[in-house]
């Protein structure tokens, strides 16, 4: 069962966050491998695998939340990738982040756009939408 959560989480992580997600887990291997395992099991094996909300809506929620919190730039970039990977368009990503000016202030929105700019450039280089 435990291993079923891990296997399911790993599949979901690859589906949503692709290479960026795998690199996060990789970077934890030598220092906090159990945090790596939990990151696969709980967020992806448990939460993302739930049927009650489509992946597109999940990524909209996460991009909004991380933009609003404003203290998790690496994870925001991973989830902007994630949003684009599951069908949110670049225009919609910009729209979600812009909207956070209302709820978390203009600095949060401006820093969110800076993160989006980096992700879009990286994807341009890789020929991704």
Residue 100, classed as helix, strand or coil, is helix
95 binds a second copy (CB under 8 A): yes
Distance separating alpha carbons of residues 112 and 73, to the nearest angstrom: 8
Which residues inside 49-88 make contact with a second copy, applying CB under 8 A? 50, 52-53, 57-58, 60-72, 74-75
Task: Give Cα 120 distance to the centre of its chain.
Answer: 14
CB neighbours of residue 111 within 10 Å:
18
**Interface positions with a second copy (CB under 8 A):** 1-3, 5, 24, 27-28, 31-32, 34-35, 38-39, 42-43, 46-47, 50, 52-53, 57-58, 60-72, 74-75, 91-92, 94-111, 113-114, 116-117, 120
């Amino acid at each position: 069962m435990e291993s079923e959560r891990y296997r399911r989480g790993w599949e979901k992580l690859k589906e949503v966050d692709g290479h960026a997600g795998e690199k996060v887990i990789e970077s934890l291997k030598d220092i906090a491998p159990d945090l790596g395992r939990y990151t696969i099991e709980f967020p992806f094996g448990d939460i993302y695998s739930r049927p009650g909300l489509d992946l597109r809506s999940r990524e909209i929620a996460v991009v909004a939340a991380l933009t609003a919190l404003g203290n998790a730039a690496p994870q925001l970039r991973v989830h902007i990738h994630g949003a684009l990977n599951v069908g949110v368009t670049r225009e919609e990503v910009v729209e979600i982040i812009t909207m956070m000016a209302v709820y978390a202030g203009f600095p949060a929105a401006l820093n969110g756009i800076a993160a989006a700019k980096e992700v879009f450039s990286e994807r341009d280089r890789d020929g991704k939408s």
